[in-house]
Structure 1
Amino acid sequence: MSKKEEKQKENILAEKLEKKEIKEKKPENKPEEKRKYEEEIEDLKRNKLLLLAQIENQRKEFERQVGYAYKYGGRLVIVRMLDFLVALEGRALKAMQDDLKNASKSKPKDPELIDKFKSHLTGMEIIKDNFKKSLEEQGVKEIEVEIGKTQANVRYHELIEEIEVDNFSEGAVVEVVEKGYFFHEEVLRRTKVKIAKRPKVK
């Protein structure tokens, strides 16, 4: 056998050996392994869906918080403005109305002074109405109370006093001491009220 033939024979044997090794290394396509890979793929799909759901929830929560901040961001300023409105309605205007009544009752009557009181009072009421309208545009709304019909509710009302009355049901609002307000859906200031209680049986 010539050297050339020997070399060819060696090459053929080497190729066969290499093919055999590759075949041995190649994994067999067993059903168990296939099932294992399929389970891993399903797990990856589930994890991906969970991750996407978490991201979506975080996005919604972020949007909710941004919306809340935008809606209620001016809350502190609104509280200060309501303090002013309550003081204007409950003190300044009331004092001016009382002064007008006293001036009208006084003898001798001074028509000029009475006209001045009326003019100032009208001006103050216009300012109050415009101010109240501006607050309403910002989401402020008065808590409505019907005397004798509205029942006191701790969520909306702050009890100032109980008054013995015959003509109202127990717990009904008898008098509004200070008005209360909503800021959007939130109770910003509870209405200060006096409520009815049953007279004591003698």
Structure 2
Amino acid sequence: MNNEANVNEQEQATVENEQDLQQENAAPEAGANASDDHVEGAAEAEAAGNPELESLRAEAAEHQQRLLRVQADYDNFRRRTQKEKEELAKYASSKLISELLPVFDNFERALAAGVSEQNDPSSFVKGVEMIFRQFEGVLKAEGLTIMETVGQPFNPEYHQAIMTVEVDEYEEGIVVEELQKGYMLKDKVLRPAMVKVSG
């Protein structure tokens, strides 16, 4: 019986201790919340009574708005520039094609005239030669040049060797024959020349 009474007393003491601890823990939290509210209220009161702080806040808000406007302007500029680049890439060849249209027209006229009994074949050939010169002129104006290959030392940057041949008149490693012309566009190889090289 005494044992049961002791156990009950211990349980009662434990419950009371836990309640005391909960009350102690709750008290600082309540105090902290009250303290935070007090600090915020004091800050607001101080801001309301401090014109310099209000001025700084207004200036910060103005800078924020200005930053947002600059960001929007930059985004618009970037989109516009991207669109212009796409347009430029899409129609980059329009100038060259415009210059080639007269050549195309002349070829069409030559084919329509053809070679008949009334037309002299030599005049037809002369007409085609004139068109070729016109076409060549357009390409040269755009910076296209023909490579000089025969008699030049073989250079893999400019020449594509198809075969090597034994030739007495050239030293080894010299281009002896051109099978297909090579072209430069300004200072860049557009198409390497196809050549035979002395071995």
Question: TM-score, with normalisation over the residues of structure 2?
Answer: 0.44
Question: TM-score, with normalisation over the residues of structure 1?
Answer: 0.44
